[in-house]
Amino acid sequence: MQQDAEVASGVLVVRASGAAAARAALTGSPSTPQSVQLLMRCPVHRSVPGNTHVFGDCSLHVLPVGTIMLTVPEAKLSTGFTDLRRLMFQPVEVGEGLRTAFSSAVGHVLAARDVLDPVGVAHHLVGLAEMVLRSALRDELERADIATGHRRAALEHIRAHLGDPSLTPGEVAKALNISLRRLYQVFEGEPNVAERIKMLRIDRAKALLADPAKADRGVGEISRDCGFVSATHFSRAFRALVGQPPTDYRRHALPR
């Protein structure tokens, strides 16, 4: 779990309070936490003491590293905990406008903490948490939709150019007009772009090797059709992924 002192500038960290709630969030069990914590870098006037300020059933914890932890009851949030799991226990990038709104609201509450009604402030803090969470969740969903579109476009481009030996992750990124770093992020959690290109080339090679209509074509010719620069490179890659040389695969795949 990310520690309080490690909350980077420009990100939001959402946590559930208590060890049981943390396990529930990570394992996907139906349990919900008693409270939800929002951590974000927020400039606070030096006159505000660095400790916990309680307002009814909500609190603002001022950390010495410039981070504010807002804790609100989960039951008072209209955003379900199932939806919030997308944000839990990971740094979520938030825009400058949202950071400014959060910082301003927290700053005003802390500056006037001694004269404000605690119950009224609690309602205000729940609304603030709701605004931040809904905005961050919307942005995450939009980023996910964009990533899905980039992934689909990347796979379409790769399949359309498998026979081109110059097909590389850099060429794919250029064709999609995105950075190479962004392209690798799109495929995060699965085989990377270079591996995906190789896997799709091997899949095409398997289909060609098993096609009776292509039985008169040599392995070298098929390897070139799949974008491999040499038959040796093709055989090595094929054996690594399939577990046998392409000639053996063809012998067993073709109908007798």
Question: Please, what's the b/e burial string for 184-201 (b: 16 or more CB within 10 A of its CB; e: otherwise)?
Answer: eebbeeeeebeebbbebb
What are the distances in angstroms from CA 57 to CA 71, 120, 163, 192? Answer: 9, 11, 63, 46
pLDDT score, position 2: 42
Nearest Cα residue to 91 out of 48, 39, 165, 20? 39
Residue ranges, the chain, pLDDT below 70: 1-6, 18-32, 44-50, 141, 143-145, 256
Q: Please give the sequence-ordered ranges of beta strands (E in DSSP) within the chain, or none if there are none.
A: 11-16, 35-41, 52-55, 58-62, 67-73, 92-93
Structural domains for the chain? 4-145 (no CATH), 161-253 (1.10.10.60)
pLDDT for the residue numbered 93: 84
Q: Are strands 92-93 and 67-73 parallel, antiparallel or unpaired?
A: unpaired
3 state DSSP class of 69: strand
Nearest-angstrom CA–CA distance, 201 and 207: 10
Write the CB contacts of 20 (distance below 8 Å, at least 6 apart in sequence).
31, 33
As to burial, measured by CB atoms within 10 angstroms (0-12 exposed, 13-18 middle, 19+ buried), residue 88 is: buried
Rounded to the nearest 10°, the torsion over CA 63, 68, 69, 71 is 130
